[in-house]
Amino acid sequence: MPSPTIRPATDRDGAAIAAIYNHYIASTVVTFEELAVDATEMAARIAKVQAAHLPWLVAEEDGEVVGYAYAAPWHVRAAYRHSVEVSVYLDHQATGRGLGSLLYEALFPILKSKKIHVAIGGLTLPNPASEALHQKFGMQKVAHYHEVGRKFGQWLDVGYWQTKISEAE
């Protein structure tokens, strides 16, 4: 199998990204969204991230999108402008092959070049694979919120991991 290509997402990737994400909405608790999103909504989300001058990347194999990662503003207040929340999702049939690492290996240098100071990752807990991925990139657990979400009839915890990317000014 050829190496995956990592490239910036375009609005044409909306359907493929929505298909990946909708699996997690319908079948898991890793996202707290409960309703599927369509290609138009996903394209709008991509455009919003890119309008904030932040990266949204896709991993592509044999012309098919098999994963994505992006950085979104942490909060809207101006003082947070040097902090982002990072996310990565993989096609559920493409997990365990290092694609999440490849996406973050591409994403983090872009954030550094944009003088992003801190990257934050929010994870539904427990989630050993995602915890390991974030720790691999130097992220440390900084918060644990108990039973803050409810999906599929269960209360869910959320943890936050954080790392310094650069010395933003």
The CATH number linked to 19 is: 3.40.630.30
Characterise 63 by phi-psi region: left (phi > 0), alpha (psi -120 to 50), beta (else).
Answer: left
In a domain, 25, yes or no: yes
Residue 169 has pLDDT above 90, yes or no: no
Range of the domain at 99: 5-164
Residue 144, domain member (yes or no) = yes
pLDDT over 60 (residue 38): yes
Please check the confidence at residue 27 and state whether its pLDDT lies above 60: yes
pLDDT of res. 3: 84
Per the domain annotation, does 93 fall within a domain? Answer: yes
pTM greater than 0.75: yes
User: Above 70 in pLDDT, residue 2?
Assistant: no
What is the pLDDT averaged over residues 122-130? 95
* Percent residues over pLDDT 90 in the chain: 95
Q: How far, CA to CA in Å, does 146 sit from each of 21, 102, 123?
A: 24, 31, 12
pLDDT at 22: 98
